[in-house]
Amino acid sequence: MNIDSDVIQADVLVIGFGKGGKAVAAQMGALGRTVVLVERSQHMYGGTCPNVGCVPTKALVHHANKRRPEDSLQDWYERSVGEVQALTSLFRAGNYDGLNGMDTVRVVTGQARFEDPHTVSVQGQDGPLTIRGETILINTGSEPIVPDVPGLQNSSRVVTSTQLIETSTLPPRLGIIGGGYLGLEFASIYRHFGSEVTVFEAAEDILRREDDDVSAAVKAILSEEGISLVTGTQVLEVDDGPAATTIVYEQDGTKHSTDVDAVLVAAGRRPVVDDLNLEAAGVRVSPRGAVEVDEHLRSSRPHIFALGDVNGGPQFTYISLDDSRIVLDQLIGDGTRTTQDRVAVPHTLFITPPLATVGLTETEARAQGHRVTVASQPVAEIIAMPRAYVVEETRGMMKFVIDAVTDEILGAALLSTDAQELINTVALAMRHGITATELRNSVYTHPSSTEAFNDVLGTVIRTDR
């Protein structure tokens, strides 16, 4: 690391300790390049996923589902939060040591601010620093959006997802503003911990992108668990009282109100760019506040890349990791890899059981002109899936959308135990042209969830002629 009295010189400067940035930092450091990684918070080494995102929330899913009827709700929740925080602390320390322990990599804690296209100043626990990078990666992630609802900004009982999973007090009544993936995941988690949960969604229905049969199956499970889904509603006001907070909302032209002990804002996330002074670097942002990038993730300044949520792409950790592959291909490869190479990217909604999807829905496939065959079965009727009975989770369904002419798998929706794993097999098959017949006739271990494909893909319920 070249450090003179005024400026730290780095081959690669990474701003933000997210998945994509740390992957590039580690690879370039291993190749002997000098790397400086700047992270504004000592609580975010490793990025959103291991600290406040995927790892703690999915760990809470696990703990919530282990609770027995005789367990004290508060005691079980407090114990679970403590164990999850211990896990995230372990991951955070590992991420920091893994990079900062490299001879060619230095982790700096503080807020980075551009002074010119190659230079940032940092104010933080290491004191004022100036860092100059030949190549710069912006990897600052995203943060929750708090809607402009009267009383919401100043309510003492309003929390973001980050704040909620760090509190050790289980809210007896939880109101959630937003019925997207985040809102529904937290609804499922906290209902299993024992909270009364009400979800307020502005749209007329949840999961509107999914086919009606899939959406109905999800809603049936959530309703069966006691989660109240209030759709087609506008939250008008949030009013703190001495013992509870009142959520005032309008539905079908009528005002209603509900008292809760905590309000989770799950209305989406926005890129973190406000404090970077991107204007000084000449880096353009989109109307939504994301760093504008091309298919190689280069910004309006070719030596500055943006990875992960901050570039406005899909907000998933695995997309950020794939971003790192694209950037590394630009820095040390042949430069041909682009965002257009991503095919059949799966998604999972971690309710219980999880909903995992990939590709086109039936509605989308028909709209695009495909002749479609659909194979679908309720999990409880899949004879070749005894694992569902072994783990005592037979709710849900599996659905495949197939091109009737080519036998190509166009998409799938798996609402079942192990769906988050099964969907990866389906996505891999789609990427490599494995037909529905081949997937149906493959040999799978037993008892496993994957062998359900042997049954489901043999059940055609509707064909376009």
Question: Looking at the annotation, which residues are catalytic?
Answer: 446
Q: How far apart are alpha carbons 362 and 374 in whole angstroms?
A: 8
Q: How far apart are alpha carbons 306 and 291 in whole angstroms?
A: 7
Q: Using N-to-C axis directions, what is the helix angle for 73-100 and 181-193, rounded to 10°?
A: 130
Q: In a 3-state reduction of DSSP, which class is residue 150?
A: coil
CB 382 within 8 A of CB 398: yes
Residue 343 tokens, joined: 């095919």
Q: How far apart are alpha carbons 199 and 179 in whole angstroms?
A: 6
Tokens 């309000």 correspond to: 263
Q: Nearest-CA neighbor of 94 among 79, 107, 82? A: 107
* β-bridge partners, 248: 237, 257
